Amino acid sequence: MARLEALRRNSLVELIVIVAIAIFLALAVQAYAVKPYRIPSASMEPTLDIGQRVLVQRLTRRLGSDPEVGDIVVFHPPTGADASPARCGAPVAEGRACTAPTDAQSDQTFIKRVVAVGGDTISIRDGLVVRNGRRQLAPFAAPCGGGGACDLPEPIRVPEGDVFLMGDNRGNSDDSRFWGPVPVNWVIGEAFATYWPPGRVGGL
């Protein structure tokens, strides 16, 4: 009988240890490798809908890898994005996108697509990016629908160490056009898959 009780106690201790290790590993993975995010707005439609959930891998950023054109990333925007209307960190010339963000980063997290990286020259025509003199195809993007932010024909240069970000819903996105390029060290990670709702499960 005593031996049976000892076995039960050992089994309970083992179960507690296994559960504790599992919780620790889950928290560690979320803290350093993969974290889920919920899409809060329509700015990335039709690629990502409001309420859709994505997985964001943060490991490559922690290892020093910079975002590339086409990546969908989660990041902290500049504090200028918190203002209404959004505020650029430099005087805005007519027909040009914002050239510099405000100095501090916001506590908010946004999700957008990288459309240009440091050293690139870009302008916007009919919602499409003209990068280094070449019009970029964007089959993933919704039509811009007109408005001043759809046509910014005067080129700007993205500073080294920054990325220029735009939503796929080009006519309804608060993005770098208004508050400027973002330093790569404000990027949290790359969205690589969607896991909710079930009908939209898949890679990005």
Would you say residue 11 has pLDDT above 80?
no
Domain 35-203 adopts which CATH fold?
Umud Fragment, subunit A (2.10.109)
0.85 surpassed by pTM: no
152-183 confidence digits (pLDDT tens): 999 999 999 999 999 999 999 999 999 999 99
How confident is residue 19, by pLDDT bands cut at 50, 70 and 90?
A: very low
Ramachandran class of 6: left when φ > 0, alpha when ψ lies in -120 to 50, beta otherwise: alpha
Judging by DSSP bridges, how do beta strands 152-157 and 162-166 pair with one another?
Answer: unpaired
- Which residue among the candidates 11, 35, 65, 112 is catalytic per the annotation? 112
List residues bridging with 38 in a β-sheet.
53
Confidence (pLDDT) at 40: 93
Average pLDDT value for residue range 67-75? 95
How confident is residue 29, by pLDDT bands cut at 50, 70 and 90?
A: very low
Neighbours of 204 (CB within 10 A): 15
Output the DSSP codes for 119-154: T-EEEEETTEEEETTEEPP-TTSBP--SSGGG-EEE
- Which residue among the candidates 11, 35, 41, 43 is catalytic per the annotation? 43
Q: Which amino acid is at 34?
A: V
Active site (annotated) includes residue 35? no
Confidence (pLDDT) at 182: 97
Quote the CA–CA distance of 167 and 81 in Å, as a whole number: 14
Would you say residue 49 has pLDDT above 70?
yes
The structural domains of the chain, with segments of one domain joined by +, span: 1-32, 35-203
Active site (annotated) includes residue 123? no
